[in-house]
Amino acid sequence: MTTNAAAVRAVSAAGKSAAERFGVMEMPSLDFTADVARETEHLYERVSHHIPRIEWPVYAPYIAAINRLKKERGAVILAHNYQTPDIFHCVADIVGDSLQLAREATKVDAEIIVQCGVHFMAETSKLLNLDKTVLIPDMKAGCSLAESITGADVRLLRETYPGVPIVTYVNTSAEVKAESDICCTSANAVEVVESFGVDRVLCIPDEFLAQNVAAQTKVKVLTWKGHCEVHERFTAEELTAYREADPSIQIIAHPECPPEVVAVSDFAGSTSGMIDYVRKNRPPKVLLVTECSMASNIETEAPGVEFIKPCNLCPHMKRITLPKILESLVFMREEIHVDPAVAERARLAVERMVNLRN
């Protein structure tokens, strides 16, 4: 039997819930004891700019309990760059943008993956690890882009544009990925679109990402009307006002922003691309045109850089909290399942992307 077939069979045979397979644990004490203070002190330094010392006794017991339980369960925590600093710096094993998390998910040794991010990210990890248990601390952590399109919509697009390759943004459901030729993220969208060597490609469902890609390639990019509810709110006027107030400011934007916003920015890139830009260029003052937690996460490692944070929060990312991560590990919930027939095809689309430059 091939590895894929074995993995798919493991999924379909998994009649028991994760709680039944791994057992449920006792909820640990959440007192701020001397042991907890000692175990977590080195972590406080990483978040001291964000969490006042007086509030640490509330965070520390969760952090200590999660880190202990993670070891006991043999679990690994993957966290997106938009998670809050307490999660990003104190409990995550691997952090990154969507592409990095997808790549790391292929290398994970642990039997249990806890995905701190939104549902499509956890689903992507599951697709790449069909024989592993993937948990998300809140199943309702969705994404406006993923909700903008269905598998039936993609089938209709294929009928309407026969022979035109379909590139699907990773911010989509497994059902949508299954109908696509390949996935992309904001970090590799231009490369993926150009990888077919044809003059017309569908890049769905993010209209703005597609328009921003189209500005960087000769390939004609057809798209869909999906938008990110966080990035669509930024305007060129708002950014221009920041620049007029301080001409020395560097403006860096995520490509889910409208093209006119990207046009008045100094740089556009994936969340990790934006972080790398700040690390390398150390601008004295920077405006991160993206979800607001990301600036808080990189502040510690960029001393001397003043971050301007327009406070646009992703309500879906913010559903993931320390108490929910702890419950996830104690009760082994909520488990990601993908229909094996869908999983097989969706996995191929993700693997084609992950393998593109490996």
When binding is defined by CB under 6 A, the residue of 40, 115, 133, 185 that contacts ligand 13P is 185
Q: Does 293 bind ligand 13P (CB under 6 A)?
A: no
Please report how close the Cβ of residue 131 comes to ligand 13P at its closest, in angstroms: 25
CB under 5 to 8 A by kind: which of ligand 13P, ligand SF4, none does 223 bind?
Answer: none
Pick the closer one to ligand SF4 by CB: 104 or 291.
291
- Using CB under 6 A as the binding criterion, the count of chain residues that bind ligand SF4 stands at 13
Strand segments, DSSP code E, in the chain are: 75-80, 94-96, 112-116, 133-135, 166-169, 182-184, 200-204, 220-222, 250-253, 267-268, 285-289, 306-308
**Gap between the Cα atoms of 227 and 217, Å rounded:** 21
Rounded least distance, CB 57 to ligand SF4, Å: 31
User: What is the per-residue binding string for ligand SF4 in 262-301, x denoting contact by CB under 6 A?
Assistant: -----------------------------x----------
SS3 category, 226: strand
Is residue 83 a contact residue for ligand 13P (CB under 6 A)? no
Tokens of 229: 């509810």
Alpha carbons 117 and 33: distance in angstroms, whole number: 30
Binding of ligand 13P by 265 (CB under 6 A): no
Query: Considering beta carbons, is residue 129 or 144 the nearer one to ligand SF4?
Result: 144
Site track for ligand SF4 across 139-168, x = CB under 6 A: ----xxx-----------------------
Closest distance between ligand 13P and the C-beta of residue 81, in Å?
6
Residues 14/335, Cβ–Cβ less than 8 Å: no
Residues in the chain: 358
Token digits for 292?
């607001």
- DSSP, collapsed to helix, strand or coil, labels residue 281 as helix
User: What is residue 335's DSSP assignment?
Assistant: B
Return the SS3 of 166. strand
CB of residue 199 vs ligand SF4: minimum separation in angstroms? Answer: 28
Q: Which residues have a Cβ under 8 Å from the Cβ of 315 and sit 6 or more positions away?
A: none
Q: Are 165 and 191 in contact (CB under 8 A)?
A: no
The annotation status of 256 as a binding-site residue, yes or no, is yes
Interface with ligand 13P (CB under 6 A), residue from 124, 186, 195, 296? 186
Q: Is the CA virtual torsion 194, 196, 202, 203 positive or negative?
A: negative
- Residues 299-318, interacting with ligand SF4 (CB under 6 A): 314, 316-317
Residue 138 binding ligand SF4, by CB under 6 A: no
CA 327 to the chain's CA centroid:
21
217 annotated ligand-binding residue:
no
The reply, when asked if residue 254 is annotated as ligand binding, is yes
Name 155's bridge partners.
none
Distance of CA 357 to the CA centre of its chain: 20
Q: Which of 125, 129, 171, 195 binds ligand SF4 (CB under 6 A)?
A: 171
Nearer to ligand SF4, 73 or 316 (CB): 316
Q: Is 122 in the site for ligand SF4 (CB under 6 A)?
A: no
- The angle at the Cα of 170, spanning 167 to 176, to the nearest 5 degrees, equals 70
* Residue 210 makes contact with ligand SF4 by CB under 6 A: no
- Tokens 């949508």, located at residue: 176
Residue 223 lies near ligand 13P (rule: CB under 6 A): no
Binding site annotation covers 195? Answer: no
Binding site for ligand 13P (CB under 6 A): 81, 97-98, 171, 185-186, 228, 254, 256, 270-271
Residues in touch with ligand SF4 (CB under 6 A)? 118, 143-145, 171, 228-230, 256, 291, 314, 316-317
